[in-house]
Amino acid sequence: MADHQDGTGAAYDGVVELYASMFADRLEKQPFARNMIGTFAELVRGTGNTRAADVGCGPGHLTAMLRELGLDAFGLDISPGMIDHARRAHPALRFDVARMEALPVEDGALGGVLAHYSMIHTPPGELPALLAEQARVLAPGGLLLVSLFGTEGPEPVRFDHKVTPAWSWPADRFATLLTEAGIPPFARLLHDPATERGFLDTHLLARRP
């Protein structure tokens, strides 16, 4: 997993400014994703534990959005370049370099984890360990919102993402992995793609019992 993560981090280091400029509007043109994040934040606030991690935070735009929605949010990313940008853009927030499979967070500490298209580069065989790590850091009743590219076929599909190779997932298969990791999903939203790739945009909201 380390070699794969290193390659992903290096690939995103090379596109920091372009990537940040593409997503500066913080989902203004993506109402489904925006409202799922709003629902996630509302439910996290309802747990009484507002501490939340934006894992794979990139340039930090959604970390800032979570803070505006009332969460004590901080951002983590494998790319040092992205973290440097996030710190400059949002100096009042905390951002750290970290791997999604080894989060610098104590057991059961978080009310929420947001993974907004940040698990798409993880090979299928490595995903269970990564999901188990998200479950580890969530408090009982804590919530995980995962957004990903969805496919209607029975198996994950590898494709050439513009930054580094990625996978799309059947929603049912990904939901099963979440359940096996101890964070069963209780809501999902699939909708027509916002890009030319043709995959369904998929959002799964899960809770640790």
Over its length of 209 residues, how does the chain's per-residue pLDDT go in tens digits? 555 565 665 666 556 676 667 766 768 888 999 999 999 999 999 999 999 999 999 999 999 999 999 999 999 999 999 899 999 999 999 999 999 999 999 999 999 999 999 999 999 999 999 999 999 999 999 999 999 999 988 899 998 876 578 899 999 999 999 999 999 999 999 998 756 667 899 999 999 99
Q: 80-89 vs 61-68: helix axis angle to the nearest 10?
A: 40
pLDDT value of position 125 = 94
CATH (domain of 108): 3.40.50.150
Contact 188, 145 (CB under 8 A): no
Nearest to 134, CA basis, from 92, 105, 94: 105
Q: Which residue has the tokens 């359940």?
A: 179
Q: Which residue has the tokens 């580094």?
A: 164
End-to-end Cα separation, the chain, in angstroms: 28
Nearest to 86, CA basis, from 129, 112, 49, 55: 55
What CA–CA distance (Å, rounded) separates 87 from 112?
Answer: 21
Contact 156, 167 (CB under 8 A): yes
Nearest to 21, CA basis, from 55, 61, 54: 61
pTM of the model: 0.92
pLDDT value of position 16 = 61
The total number of structural domains that make up the chain = 1
54 is in which domain, residue-wise? 2-24+31-207
